[in-house]
Amino acid sequence: TLTTVFAEHLDEQFKRRMYKNWYHSKKKAFTRYVKKYTDQARKPIEKELARIEKYCQVVRVIAHTQVKKLDINLKKAHVMEIQVNGGTVKDKLEFAKGLFERTVPISGVFKQNEMIDVIGVTKGKGFEGVTTRWGVTRLPRKTHRGLRKVACIGAWHPAKVKTTVPRAGQNGYHHRTEINKKIYRVGADNHSNAEDFKDFKHASTEY
């Protein structure tokens, strides 16, 4: 990374991600950085943007979620880098600058009838034994030192356990990508007041 330029006004949800404990902190993150925007003599922000335009080929934006809108006990935003593609470096930079302190709507990213891939993790199960984890057959009832095991984990030589042999360990919380999911509809939330809740099927489809 050559350099990073942050927006002048950063959301508290984003700042919380910078701290281990927001409550006990002094909440001073980015307070000195903001002064760069008012420094008319040196103009450090313009200089950094000029450096990006001169030396960079790849431009990425740092985006965060608005996690307070969800009804979950979480106040720290999720932060990620998103690469900007298309056009010259100057075009990418102008596009990225235009997104400073702006909300990116779902309709600005996804379109109806678009095919997308979904990335996520499976339900975490923790450390589990070989019978549950791999579905191997239990040993006979009279087996000494337990029966939910693999009887023989390999030959004497080569004197190593192969990676193909089932073993106990972490089960679940694995990374998965599901491909070819179709977006049937991107619904608009028109519920500005209580009376609008009569139309509760505002995001339903003809299916």
| 196 pLDDT above the threshold of 90 | no
Between 164 and 200, the higher pLDDT residue = 164
| pLDDT tens digits, one per residue of 54-99 | 999 999 999 999 999 888 899 999 999 999 999 999 999 999 999 9
- Residues 189, 202: contact at Cβ < 8 Å? yes
Token digits of residue 90: 């100057």
**Tens digits of residue pLDDT in 4-38:** 999 999 999 999 999 999 999 999 999 999 999 99
The CA-based dihedral angle spanning residues 166, 175, 76, 20, taken in that order and rounded to the nearest 10 degrees: 40
**What is the value of pTM for the model shown?**
0.72
| Residue 2 structure tokens | 């050559």
Residue where the block lists tokens 């003599």: 41
pLDDT in tens, 109-137: 899 999 999 999 999 999 999 999 999 99
